[in-house]
Amino acid sequence: MLDVSNGGGESDAILSVRSVAKSFGGVQAVKEVSLDVERGSIFSIIGPNGAGKTSLVNMISGFYKADQGSITFDGTELIGKRPSQIAEQGIARTFQNIALFHGLTVLDNLMLGRHVRMKSGILSSILYWGAAQKEEVEHRKRAEEIIDFLRITDLRRMTTGELAYGLQKRVELGRALALDPTLLLLDEPMAGMNQEEKEDMVRYVLDVNAEFGTTIVLIEHDMGVVMDISDHIVVLDQGEKIADGTPDVVKADPAVIRAYLGASHLQD
């Protein structure tokens, strides 16, 4: 399906995580995890419930501050930066539990996704004259492109609270895409979806990766999907990285099989 191979000699990592750890009180959610995400790839993080996947992504997007280690994105250290500064670097994400702005329309949610790409300050916004208006129109165009891409044209004027769960997940992807991210973090984008919605979402993820060249870090429990679309997989268990490699390598790894059997989480 995709030909971004991972085997060749020198790697071009857009994101490098080095010995990152995070604990909450007594719970060590993430223990000394290191990984490299190759530019332009689809990189999946899997593992049983409570393995530390979300915590790791939260550290990348700056929502949690890592206790130790380093996270570099395109050579820039991310640890210590505020989430909004990390977004400005071109990193967008979706949430395991949908976090849309329910008081706003689909369109406005997407426009908010473009916040860091816009500049208008207070005064020009209040006057809504010249530059501010031009900027709104320009960015509206990009938002509409994403709306077309995700085929949610007839929903654009609806407030997101009115939408069905599957559509909310799609709009949340749209809001993340609106940033024009170079790195997109997706935390279980297909959870709770029916088969058809899942297939749609997989399609969008692949298209985003192929059309926009966006690097994707994906957390997902559906093994079928993960094995199908990932270029590279990292497996976490109880905060530790237990495997790291291509789908074929990971599938055959005894430690992975053990972790999944132990957590009785094996899906065909």
Partner 1 sequence: MFYRESGEYKTDYKRDMTLYALPISRFSVGLMVLLFFVAAPLLLGEYQLTLLSLVAIAVVGALGLNILVGYAGQLSIGHAAFMSVGAYTAANLVTKLDMPFLLTLPAGGLMAAAIGLVVGIPSLRIKGIYLAIATLAAQFIIEWIINHSPSISGGVQASIEIDRPTILGWKLDQAVELYMFLVTIAAIAIVCTQNLIRSRIGRAFIAIRDQDIAAEIIGISVFKYKLYAFGISSFYAGVTGVLYTYYLGIASYEQFTLVVSIDYLAMIIIGGLGSILGSVLGAFFITLLPIGIRLFMENVGSLFLEPEALASIISQMRLIVFGSLIIIFLIMEPEGLNRLWINIRNYFRVWPFSY
Ligand X SMILES: Nc1ncnc2c1ncn2[C@@H]1O[C@H](COP(=O)(O)OP(=O)(O)OP(=O)(O)O)[C@@H](O)[C@H]1O
| Interface of this chain with partner 1, residues 123 to 152, rule: CB under 8 A | 125-128, 132-133, 135-137, 140-141, 144
> Whose structure tokens read 């994105």?
73
Residue 120 contact partner, candidates Mg ion, partner 1, ligand X, none, CB within 5 to 8 A by sort of partner: partner 1
Q: Which two tokens stand for residue 9?
A: 């000699």
The site for partner 1, by CB under 8 A, has a size of 42
* 257 lines the binding site for partner 1 (CB under 8 A): no
Token pair recorded at residue 144: 């509409």
Answer yes or no whether residue 96 interacts with ligand X by CB under 6 A: yes
The bridge status of strand 76-77 relative to strand 68-73 is: antiparallel
- Our finding on whether 65 is near ligand X (CB under 6 A) is no
Contact at 8 Å (CB) between 183 and 91?
A: yes
- Choose among ligand X, Mg ion, partner 1, none what residue 95 binds, the Cβ cut-off being 5 to 8 Å by kind: partner 1
Contact positions with ligand X (CB under 6 A) in 13-52: 24, 27, 29, 47, 49-52
Q: Which of 18, 72, 112, 200 binds partner 1 (CB under 8 A)?
A: 112
Cα angle 205, 209, 211; round to 5: 110
Alpha-helix residue ranges (DSSP H) falling in the chain: 53-60, 83-88, 106-113, 122-127, 131-149, 165-177, 195-212, 223-229, 247-251, 254-262
Residue 68 has φ and ψ, to the nearest 5°, of: -155, 170
Q: Which residues bind to partner 1, rule: CB under 8 A? A: 61-63, 82-84, 87-88, 92-93, 95, 99-104, 108, 111-113, 115-116, 118, 120-122, 125-128, 132-133, 135-137, 140-141, 144, 175-176, 179
